[in-house]
């Protein structure tokens, strides 16, 4: 890639169902020049996350949709290429929101300086970034696990779920992970230290989950929905708490498409009968409230070997659309990032 051109990925069309490569378009533009009070950022890592599926849809959501022709949104780790801002100098490594492009301008207000001596910079997009804080804030504020309770988390090998289960164990709870396939399940059990892992691809998944939770489920961290929720619902204890973080099984459904059976009546009946707390949340609900505390605690847990992570690294911005499509189908293994820099 020439240093005189900015490669970027824009939304070409709104996906219907599963996104297709043709829903994305590559463009070349001139590298922008920073004005007074601005910095030029060169993207090193781009985060790919399930929430982006909502942002490229026209459906009503917590944030406005990306317009056709706009650069796809996304968190990034970037290097300051040039600076005309008093607080930033060339070579600084920062967390930013530059999206799917190689270069971007910033006024400095949305940047956070990163120290590569503490952890690899890419972790600011995962275990020490938005996914990690999502797990921390959702589990501790909504789930409120107590020592000895059973915490179940879906997508346990993913960026959010892996952190949820590890924090649950740190807080003295029993962590039961749900993952897809023998390799992911082995990682969750042997590397992350969950107490039990259940493969949701197994034909007897519901039975195995019940066996893994003989005393029921006190906290269920929802990332998936679908048949996983069907197996979890009968096991929820009286006063169980359910932080609803994601519904990845349904993200490719259109806003008016009913995928599978109508689960609402059965769900509402059980919520009422067992006094279950079910709360949806977006990480921005807790923006600023505990972020400094999270950074301190998570960095300490990493140093102590209590908090581990795995990254799924794809090289080249050109691979971002296919990698993102695969993310929505569970093809990634760990936090999915695109590496643009060295």
Domains and CATH numbers, the chain: 5-126+310-339 (3.90.180.10), 130-285 (3.40.50.720)
111, 142, 247, 281 from 243: Cα distances, Å: 29, 6, 12, 7
Give the Cα separation of 226 and 228 in Å (integer).
5
pLDDT(334) > 60 = yes
Average pLDDT over residues 153-176: 97
Q: Which has the higher per-residue pLDDT, 7 or 253?
A: 7
Which DSSP string corresponds to 7-44?
EEEEE-S--SSS--GGGEEEEEEEPPPP-TT-EEEEEE
Distance of CA 29 to the CA centre of its chain: 29
pLDDT(256) > 60 = no
Tens-digit pLDDT profile for residues 186-204: 999 999 999 999 999 999 9
Banded pLDDT at 152 (limits 50, 70, 90):
very high
Average pLDDT over residues 52-74: 90
pLDDT of residue 288: 82
Matching residue, tokens 């600076």: 83
Q: 135, 132, 212: which is closest to 168 by C-alpha?
A: 135
pLDDT of residue 1: 43
Task: Collect all residues with Cβ–Cβ distance below 8 Å to 244 and sequence separation of at least 6.
Answer: 222, 278, 279, 280, 281
Average pLDDT, the chain: 93
pLDDT(12) > 50 = yes
Given a contact cutoff of 8 angstroms between Cβ atoms, the answer to whether 236 and 276 are in contact is yes
Strands 236-244 and 277-280: parallel
Give the Cα separation of 220 and 217 in Å (integer).
7
Distance of CA 52 to the CA centre of its chain: 10
Give the Cα separation of 4 and 178 in Å (integer).
46
pLDDT(95) > 90 = yes
Average pLDDT over residues 309-335: 95
Share of the chain above pLDDT 70, in %: 95
Give the Cα separation of 184 and 203 in Å (integer).
17
Banded pLDDT at 58 (limits 50, 70, 90):
confident
pLDDT of residue 296: 94
Give the Cα separation of 73 and 23 in Å (integer).
14
Q: Alpha-carbon torsion 125, 126, 129, 133, what sign?
A: positive
Sheet harboring 174-179: ordered strands across?
A: 196-199, 174-179, 150-153, 217-221, 236-244, 277-280
The CA-based angle 103-83-287, given to 5 degrees, is 70
Strands 174-179 and 150-153: parallel
Matching residue, tokens 């197996």: 231
Q: 239, 226, 247: which is closest to 272 by C-alpha?
A: 239
Tens-digit pLDDT profile for residues 275-302: 999 999 999 899 887 999 999 999 999 9
pLDDT(253) > 70 = no
Considering the entire predicted model, what is its pTM?
Answer: 0.90
Q: Which of 87-96, 173-182, 248-257 has the lowest mean pLDDT?
A: 248-257
Task: Collect all residues with Cβ–Cβ distance below 8 Å to 39 and sequence separation of at least 6.
Answer: 80, 81, 82, 83, 84, 85, 88, 105, 106, 108, 111
pLDDT of residue 64: 87
Tens-digit pLDDT profile for residues 98-130: 999 999 999 999 899 998 888 899 999 999 999
Given a contact cutoff of 8 angstroms between Cβ atoms, the answer to whether 200 and 228 are in contact is yes
Matching residue, tokens 């275990």: 127
Share of the chain above pLDDT 90, in %: 82
Rg of the chain's alpha carbons, rounded to an integer? 21
Question: Can you state the angle between helices 130-137 and 291-303, rounded to 10 degrees?
Answer: 100
pLDDT(252) > 80 = no
């Amino acid at each position: 890639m020439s240093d005189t051109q900015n490669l970027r990925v824009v939304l070409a069309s709104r996906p219907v169902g599963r996104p297709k490569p043709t829903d994305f378009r590559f463009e070349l533009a001139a590298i922008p020049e920073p004005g007074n009070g601005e910095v030029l950022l060169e993207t090193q890592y781009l985060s790919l996350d399930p929430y982006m599926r909502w942002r490229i849809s026209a459906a009503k959501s917590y944030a406005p949709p990306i317009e056709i022709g706009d650069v796809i949104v996304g968190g990034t780790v970037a290097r300051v290429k040039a600076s005309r801002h008093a607080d930033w100098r060339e070579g600084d490594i920062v967390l930013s929101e530059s999206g799917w492009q190689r270069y971007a301008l910033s006024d400095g207000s949305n940047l956070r300086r990163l120290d590569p001596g503490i952890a690899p910079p890419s972790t600011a997009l995962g275990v020490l970034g938005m996914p990690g804080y999502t797990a921390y804030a959702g589990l501790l504020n909504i789930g409120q696990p107590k020592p000895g309770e059973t915490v179940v988390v879906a997508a346990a090998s993913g960026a959010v779920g892996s952190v949820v289960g590890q924090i649950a164990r740190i807080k003295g709870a029993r962590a039961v992970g749900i993952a897809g396939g023998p390799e992911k399940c082995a990682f969750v059990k042997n590397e992350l230290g969950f107490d039990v892992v259940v493969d949701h691809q197994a034909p007897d998944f519901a039975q195995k989950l019940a066996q893994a939770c003989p005393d029921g489920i006190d906290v269920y961290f929802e990332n998936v929905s679908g048949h996983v929720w069907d197996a979890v619902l009968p096991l929820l204890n009286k006063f169980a708490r359910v932080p609803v973080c994601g519904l990845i099984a349904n993200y490719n459904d259109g806003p008016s498409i009913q995928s599978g059976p109508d689960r609402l009546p059965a769900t509402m009946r059980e919520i009422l009968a067992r006094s279950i707390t079910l709360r949806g949340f977006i990480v921005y609900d807790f923006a600023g409230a505990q972020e400094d505390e999270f950074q301190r605690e998570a960095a300490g847990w990493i140093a102590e070997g209590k908090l581990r992570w795995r990254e799924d690294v794809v090289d080249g911005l050109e691979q971002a659309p296919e990698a993102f499509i695969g993310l929505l189908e569970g093809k990634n293994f760990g936090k999915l990032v695109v590496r643009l820099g060295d």
